[in-house]
Amino acid sequence: MKILAAMSGGVDSAVAAARAVDAGHDVTGVHLALSRAPEAVRAGARGCCTIEDARDARRAADVLGIPFYVWDLAEQFREDVIDDFVAEYAAGRTPNPCLRCNEKIKFAAVLDRARALGFDAVVTGHHARLDVDADGVPRLARSVDEAKDQSYVLAVLTREQLRYAMFPLGDTTKEQVRREAAQRGLAVAEKPDSHDICFIANGDTMGFLREQLGSRPGEIVDGDSGSVVGSHDGAYAYTVGQRKGLRLANPVNDGKPRYVLSIEPVANRITVGTAEQLEVTTVVAERPVWTGGRAPAFPWRGTVQMRAHGGLAEATAEVDATGRLLVGLHTPARGIAAGQAIVLYDGDDVVGSATIASAAA
């Protein structure tokens, strides 16, 4: 097959491209230029998409002996990922930009262009397992390396997008990937993984949002008494479940730590309360995407994940008359934020995902 290998400049995508070559495919490497003004050098494990990353990707392609190109998608990345990220925080929600990048850039813009150019599939270094049967029905599943599993951020992909995707690393641990890269002579074998949000290289999300949205002072109130217990510079900089950085000026009498319970963007108000008040048992989610192309039989029962690095929770799900997903958690969960994805699993297999709209006790 004619394969396009998305090469970020990291070790995972380099080894994924190498495995595609080993499988006998006609492979072309492409690096996505996602920043309008990329930094020359990465700040350790923070950020990505620097000039250094592009050069690392090119060197890996040279070692593999495959053609290599750079595609400038900076404008689309700004519109579909960065602007969406800012707008979601401004609306009081907590988005996942990696999920949006997979959905809108890597498996929409890139896949569409690849198909138009005659490529049969796009291969990436994501840690997830993917099989597609003869009828084109995909089975997306967790990686064997649970610590590196990325099925959560891939669960937003549609059946059609998954039909043209390849994830060769799903059966491999990160340690094995690095060892293989070293054996292949790839200079990125020990390159640190990218962490945090790629377009906020210094890790200061609050500072980035303040630059985009400006200072918007408001009140922090106690959920029980309604009394003002502090102030903030912008409700957009907080997320449900947050404890650090609240700077409460008037501590409550019980001495318990306080967490963000809710964010009211119109009133520009943050409500805080105890950890127990964070507990929810019902989650309402919108715009479900079913991995196999159709919804499962309802009522559905399995496990759900509600944060990129969160654990699994036993749950039951239904769909209401408007198509929203109604999930009942068997045990209360804390810190469930609107804007995040809820992903449904049957064992290791991804059933589908939806965007959390609200959660309640």
Q: Are the C-beta atoms of 243 and 258 separated by less than 8 Å?
A: yes
Q: What's the pLDDT band for 45 if we cut at 50, 70, 90?
A: very low
48 is catalytic: no
Compute the average pLDDT of residues 346-355. 97
Please tell me the predicted confidence (pLDDT) of residue 14: 97
Over 90: is that where the pLDDT of 345 sits? yes
215-260 pLDDT, tens per residue?
Answer: 999 999 998 888 999 999 999 989 999 998 888 877 666 778 899 9
Tokens 């009828």 sit on residue? 135
Please tell me the predicted confidence (pLDDT) of residue 79: 94
Task: Work out the number of other CB atoms within 10 angstroms of the CB of residue 179.
Answer: 14
Q: Structural domains in the chain?
A: 2-183 (3.40.50.620), 215-277 (2.30.30), 279-360 (2.40.30.10)
Which residue in 225, 226, 221 sits closest to 263, CA to CA?
A: 221
150-193 pLDDT, tens per residue?
Answer: 999 999 999 999 999 999 999 999 999 999 999 999 999 999 88
Q: Which of 48, 49, 98, 198 is catalytic?
A: 198
Residue 350's alpha-carbon distances to 199, 277, 286, 353, in angstroms, are 28, 30, 17, 8
Q: Are the C-beta atoms of 69 and 113 separated by less than 8 Å?
A: no
Over 70: is that where the pLDDT of 48 sits? no
Over 50: is that where the pLDDT of 74 sits? yes
Over 80: is that where the pLDDT of 354 sits? yes
Q: Classify residue 302 by burial, with Cβ atoms within 10 Å: 0-12, 13-18, 19+.
A: middle
Percent of the chain with pLDDT over 70: 94
Please tell me the predicted confidence (pLDDT) of residue 355: 97
Over 90: is that where the pLDDT of 199 sits? no
Q: How far is CA 245 from the centre of its chain?
A: 24
Over 80: is that where the pLDDT of 40 sits? no
Q: Which of 48, 49, 98, 101 is catalytic?
A: 101
User: Which distant-in-sequence residues (6+ apart) come within 8 Å of 246 by Cβ?
Assistant: 220, 230, 258, 260, 272
Over 80: is that where the pLDDT of 99 sits? yes
Q: How many helices (H) and strands (E) does the chain have?
A: 10, 17
198 is catalytic: yes
- Bridge partners, residue 228, by sequence: 221
Q: Please give the span between the terminal C-alpha atoms of the chain, in angstroms, as a whole number.
A: 51
Pairing type for strands 218-222 and 128-132 reads unpaired
